Amino acid sequence: MVPLAIAFLVTALLYASVGFGGGSTYTALLALAEVDYRVLPLLSLACNLVVVAGSTVRFARARVTPWGRALLLTAIAAPAAFLGGLTPIAEQGFLALLGTSLLFTALTMMLPVAKRPEGERGRVARYAPFAALPLGYISGLVGIGGGIFLAPLLHLVRWDSARAIAATASLFILVNSLFGLAGQVLKGGEGRFAAAVDLGLPLLVAVAIGGQIGSLLALRYLPQRWIRWGTGALTAFVGGRLLLNL
């Protein structure tokens, strides 16, 4: 349990420092530790909530969250995340989807983020809400928040400033994790939820510590590019290991 808790702490530190929760990597780490795959989304979504709750509050206090458009994206995605949480999926399909998602995530983390004037929006930015539905469903199905997919898309279409996109991704992860967790709890019942609680407490403490360190310290002392590449390399390694074990 101690090595797993340390891995969770490092993952939370890295992901929080770039505005994400880390749910996809938590799930993969648990899978590699041979935890029952039906319990994985419960633990990963709970860890997501611990990491991004503080970030969402900080963004809100700084008044950088574009509430109208951010709430539209989350309102579309949240019911889909709930349905994804309710959807039964076989272990092989679950692990294959998760591993593929991790490799895609690693690619998006390593791609350079183009600089542009603050406030400049792309012509297709208005169509971003159409992507929220499938992202929400996948998030609930495999136990991630979905922000790791949403943020690169919003950057690509020049949806808003970098800070506004980070704030939106944090809110998106928070709400999707809540709804996805609700669906997973209803699908699994009390027994599976109890098993997740028994295993999860040390991991929740680890990500709480890692998330605070990541959000408060890492961005001050490490270049953003190094953090993104480090996070991407970790994600690619875990996703590759997961697919090779299928």
- Residue 220, in any domain of the structure: no
- Which span out of 37-41, 47-51, 125-129 was modeled with the highest average pLDDT? 47-51
- CB contact at 8 A, 200 and 50: no
- Residue 137, in any domain of the structure: yes
- Residue 217, in any domain of the structure: no
- Residue 5, in any domain of the structure: no
Cα 80 from Cα 120, distance rounded (Å): 30
Cα 240 from Cα 238, distance rounded (Å): 5
b vs e for 210-239, b when ≥16 Cβ sit within 10 Å of the residue's Cβ?
bbbbbbeebeeeeeeeebbebbbebbbebb
pLDDT of residue 152: 80
* Structural domains in the chain (count): 1
- Residue 3, in any domain of the structure: no
- DSSP, residue by residue, 127-150: GTHHHHHHHHHHHHHHT--SHHHH
- Residue 223, in any domain of the structure: no
Given 3-state DSSP classes, what are the helix, strand and coil percentages for the chain, each rounded to the nearest 5? 80, 0, 20
pLDDT of residue 122: 67
- Residue 209, in any domain of the structure: no
Mean pLDDT value across residues 172-180: 93
Scan for tokens 């970098």, then name that residue.
162
- CB contact at 8 A, 14 and 39: no
Q: Which domain holds residue 96?
A: 23-202+228-244
Q: Is the pLDDT of residue 98 over 70?
A: yes
Mean pLDDT value across residues 57-73: 89
For 241, residues 6+ apart whose C-beta sits below 8 A from its C-beta are 28, 32
Lowest mean pLDDT among 109-113, 119-123, 191-195: 119-123
Q: Is the pLDDT of residue 143 over 70?
A: yes
Tell me the percentage of the chain whose pLDDT exceeds 70: 89
Cα 64 from Cα 77, distance rounded (Å): 21
- Residue 11, in any domain of the structure: no
Q: Is the pLDDT of residue 124 over 80?
A: no
Higher-confidence residue: 194 or 6? 6
